[in-house]
């Protein structure tokens, strides 16, 4: 697996795929995509890096604590869910706002998107946490 070709391709792919995963996350409300898909996409490119460069080599310079991602994602999702209650709405009530910006045009802000970001982080955190723990285990 660790031929020069795969290493080079992985290096090139890494930023592109991460950008793609973020765009999947953000596009999710209107096009195919969303937190689950984006999260899995992100997890798969990182796992590709782990496989190609080796876990030990990668963690020497890139070693986030995935359990924190998982926890913060769950916290974010729960907060968005409960945030409607102090505002006097039902649990999980979503808010939609349309904003007109001069150059970009109409932008749609949905509070459910924040929930989706939470899902994104939970999926990334869970999958990579599992993968890293299994991989580190000797």
Partner 1 sequence: MNNTFLSLTIAILFGIGTFLILRRDIVKVIIGLGILSHAVNVLIVSVGIFDGTRVPILAGSYNEAETTGSVFNDNLAEDILSPVVQAGTHIDYVDPLVQALVLTAIVISLATTAFILILAYRIHEEYGTTDIRELRRLWG
Partner 2 sequence: MDSSTIVMLAIFIPFIFAFLVPVASKLLKQRIGWFAVAIALLTLFLILKITPIIVHGDTIYGEIVWLPTAGLTFNVYADGLSVLIGLLASGIGVIIMTYSNGYMSTKEDLPRYYQYLLLFMGSMIGMVFSANTIQLFIFWELTSFTSFMLIGYWNDKPESIYGATKALVLTAIGGLVMLAGFLLLQVITGTFDIPTILHDESMIQAIHGHELFLITLVLIFIGAAAKSAQGPFYIWLPNAMEAPTPVSAFLHSATMVKAGIYLVARIHPLFAGTDAWFILVSGTGMITMVVAGFLAFRQTDIKAILAYSTISQLAYIMTMYGYTTYHEPGIGVAAATFHLVNHATFKASLFLVAGIVAHEAATRDIRKLGGLRKEMPLTFIIACIGAFAMAGLPPFNGFLSKEMFYESSLEMGVALGSPFTLLIPAIAVMGGVLTFAYSIKFIDGIFFGRRQTRGLPEHIHDPPAVMLIPAAFLAALVILFGLFPSIPVHAVVEPTTAGIIREDVELHIKMWHGFTTPLMMTIITFMIGLGVYTKYGAIAAWQDRFNLRYPKISVNYYYDLLVQNAQASARTISSITQPGTVKTYMSALILTVVVLVGIPIILLGADIIPQSLNFDIAVYEVLIMLFMVIAGIAAALLPAYLPAIIALSALGYLVSLLFIYLKAPDLALTQILVETLSTIIFLLVIVKMPQKFRESIPTTTLVRDLIIAGAVASTVFIILINATQGIIPPFESLSHYFIENSITLAGGRNVVNVIIVDFRGYDTLGEISVLCVAAFGVYNLIHSRGNKT
77 binds partner 2 (CB under 8 A): yes
> b/e per residue, 11-32, with b = 16+ CB within 10 A?
eeeeeebeebbeebbbebeeee
3-state SS assignment for residue 54: coil
Taking CB under 8 A as the rule, which mask of x and - marks residues 96-115 in contact with partner 2? x-x---------x-x-xx-x
Give the dihedral sign, CA 14/38/40/117: positive
79 with 123: CB under 8 angstroms? no
* Contacts to partner 1 from residues 104-133, by CB under 8 A: 108, 123, 126-127, 130
Q: Which does 74 bind (CB under 5 to 8 A by kind): partner 2, partner 1, none?
A: partner 2
129 binds partner 2 (CB under 8 A): yes
Number of residues near partner 1 (by CB under 8 A): 15
Q: Which residues bind partner 1 (CB under 8 A)?
A: 30-32, 34, 36-37, 39-40, 98, 108, 123, 126-127, 130, 134
């Amino acid at each position: 697996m660790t031929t020069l070709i795969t290493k080079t391709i992985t290096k090139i792919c890494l930023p592109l795929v991460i950008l793609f995963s973020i765009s999947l996350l953000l596009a999710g409300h209107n096009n195919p995509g969303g937190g689950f898909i984006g999260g899995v996409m992100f997890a798969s490119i990182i796992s590709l890096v782990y496989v190609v460069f080796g876990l030990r080599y990668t963690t020497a310079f890139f070693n986030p604590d995935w359990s924190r991602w998982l926890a913060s994602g769950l916290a974010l999702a729960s907060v968005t869910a409960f945030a409607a209650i102090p505002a006097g709405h039902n649990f999980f009530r979503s808010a939609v706002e349309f904003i007109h910006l001069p150059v970009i045009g109409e932008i749609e802000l949905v509070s459910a998107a924040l929930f989706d970001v939470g899902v994104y982080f939970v999926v990334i955190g869970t999958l990579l946490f599992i993968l890293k723990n299994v991989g580190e285990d000797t």
